[in-house]
Amino acid sequence: MKNKIILAFIAALFLTGCTDLSDDILDGLPLEKFPENEAQIAAIPIPAYQALQPFLDGAGWWFAQEITGDEICAPTRGEHWDDGGKWRALHTHTWDNNTEAVNTMWSHFYDGTFEANSAIDLLNTFEESEDLLIVKAKLKAMRTFYYWQLIDNYGDVPFVMTQENVPLHPEKVKRADIFAAIVKDLEDNLQYFSAAGRATSVTKGMAFTLLAKLYLNAEVYTGTAQWAKAEAYCDSVIALGYSLESNPLGPFVTANESSPENIFTIPYDENDFTGNNLHMRTLHYNSDQTFNMIVGPWNGFAAIEDFYNTFDADDKRKKAFLVGQQYAADGTKIIDGELEELLILNPHIPSLLMGDEATQEEKLMSGARIVKFEVADGAKDNLSNDFPLFRYADVLLMKAEAMIRQGKNGDEFVNKIRARAGLSNFSNTTLPQLLEERGRELFWEGHRRQDLIRYGKFGNQWWEKPASSKDRETFPIPQWAIDANPNLG
């Protein structure tokens, strides 16, 4: 069993001896630094990390980043997957400030900033020490991460660096000003982060990658491009010694907590830290037979056919899709339980809203399904695969992009990714080529919306989605938040 956050939390609450938790998943405060009756101090940072848990499901983050893009869709399949049109609203860019994902992201991101601020405020009441400074620095990095999500998704938002004496109705702060403040805060604390450490905690790799992301998108956030700084922080990550897995699907296996490629992850566990249930949303009802699952999947999300077709036949990453005749674990052909016909998944999806005009076969079997994250034999409704928020392959592609945007040649770095996928090298890689390669490498990982915005493509027309206006590049502040704080209107 992996050492998950929930287990560390329980241990921190109930330990009465002096135990060194400095190497724990949360890099919490060492207990021997405090009186025995203050052992609970070790648990102070935990909620700031736990706020990541719902990112793939309840927080709406994954849906807002992937379903709004040109790779993944959530088609209505007859009487299934309509859900009041909330998936179509994301796909067609017709959401409003009552759309579910718009509502839930806001509250969960602010949960993260609140927990980080509260922990820092509490730690400020203790006598300062080197260990205390390290833990506070990591909490500040987590706060930067959540504020990055807020300005990326919502633009101008309320911004506080402490929970003490917060105004009842805080006003919005300009996106560019928040960008400057969180970048400075993170850079000022780089000295406290170690090069080594688990991907489930803040390390130099996590901090450098977060800064590279911020600077790569600086033009979107502030109006001023900062490609050279983005490249420099990519170089800082590269110098730390991360490496690519030999298999492009290696970072996503069930036991991926030691992957040399994953930099910062959400440490999911099928029992103790649930939330990685994307396989349930995409697999066909009868795909349980393929993986000897103890539950039945929900037959929903699929790859948009045009995106699926961007993969060459010999691209090793194409193994992340299920298409064609499906087989049970014993090698026998699976029969669709409703149609009593062979289960043959077709990449073609006739429409986003498959109503009476669609055949039952189209409703049930259309769309390539995604198994980028390994579905272990006997899988439950939640997987134990950790979810990489930051991954080394992304850093290499960011390095290539930052170089190309400065008039340099980024072939060396993009071709590392292509070579691993079994593909020929690019020569004089262009930005359109790089955007396509980012799609093939990073799909299903929550990057696409941000990438399309940075490339000026988010408003383009694509399958079942009309052209949309620039105001769609951020989400509106939820109506319930405006009702509670008129300064947000």
Q: How confident is the model at residue 40 (pLDDT cuts 50, 70, 90)?
A: low
Cβ 324 vs Cβ 316: under 8 Å:
no
Q: What's the structural domain count of the chain?
A: 2
Would you say residue 5 lies in a domain? yes
Per-residue tokens: 16:
């009465």
How many whole angstroms separate alpha carbon 74 and alpha carbon 56?
Answer: 15
The amino acid at 119: A
Tell me: the pLDDT tens digits for 232-282? 999 999 999 999 999 999 999 999 999 999 999 999 999 999 999 999 999
User: 387-391 and 262-266 as β-strands: parallel, antiparallel, unpaired?
Assistant: antiparallel
Per-residue tokens: 62:
């994954």
Tell me: the pLDDT tens digits for 292-319? 999 999 999 999 999 999 999 999 999 9
What's CA 357's distance to the chain center, in Å?
Answer: 36
Would you say residue 86 lies in a domain? no
Structural domain of 334: 278-370
Query: What does R_g of the chain's alpha carbons equal in angstroms?
Result: 23
pLDDT of 26 strictly over 90? no
How many whole angstroms separate alpha carbon 239 and alpha carbon 235?
Answer: 6
Q: Is 477 left (phi over 0), alpha (psi -120 to 50) or beta?
A: beta
Average pLDDT over residues 128-150: 95
Question: Which among 339, 370, 401 is the end of a domain?
Answer: 370
Would you say residue 114 lies in a domain? no
Would you say residue 337 lies in a domain? yes
Average pLDDT over residues 316-327: 98
pLDDT of 14 strictly over 60? no
Question: Which among 349, 370, 391 is the end of a domain?
Answer: 370
Would you say residue 320 lies in a domain? yes
Q: How far separated are the first and last CA of the chain, in Å rounded?
A: 47
Least reliable range by pLDDT among 33-47, 254-268, 351-365, 399-413: 33-47
Question: Which among 370, 398, 432 is the end of a domain?
Answer: 370
Tell me: the pLDDT tens digits for 75-105? 999 999 999 999 999 999 999 999 999 999 9
Range 199-224 burial, b when 16+ CB lie within 10 A, else e: bbbbbbbbbbbbbbbbbbbbebbbee
Would you say residue 261 lies in a domain? no
Would you say residue 294 lies in a domain? yes
Q: How confident is the model at residue 42 (pLDDT cuts 50, 70, 90)?
A: low
Q: How confident is the model at residue 1 (pLDDT cuts 50, 70, 90)?
A: very low
Tell me: the pLDDT tens digits for 175-190? 999 999 999 999 999 9
Q: How confident is the model at residue 128 (pLDDT cuts 50, 70, 90)?
A: confident
Angle at the Cα of 53 from the Cα atoms of 385 and 115, rounded to 5 degrees: 145
Give the model's pLDDT for residue 107.
97
Give the model's pLDDT for residue 448.
98
pLDDT of 29 strictly over 90? no
Kindly report the pTM of this predicted structure. Answer: 0.93
Torsion over CA of 50, 56, 61 and 63, rounded to 10 degrees? -170
Q: Which of 138, 213, 209 is nearest to 179 (CA)?
A: 213
Would you say residue 62 lies in a domain? no
Residue 432 burial (10 A CB sphere; 0-12, 13-18, 19+): exposed
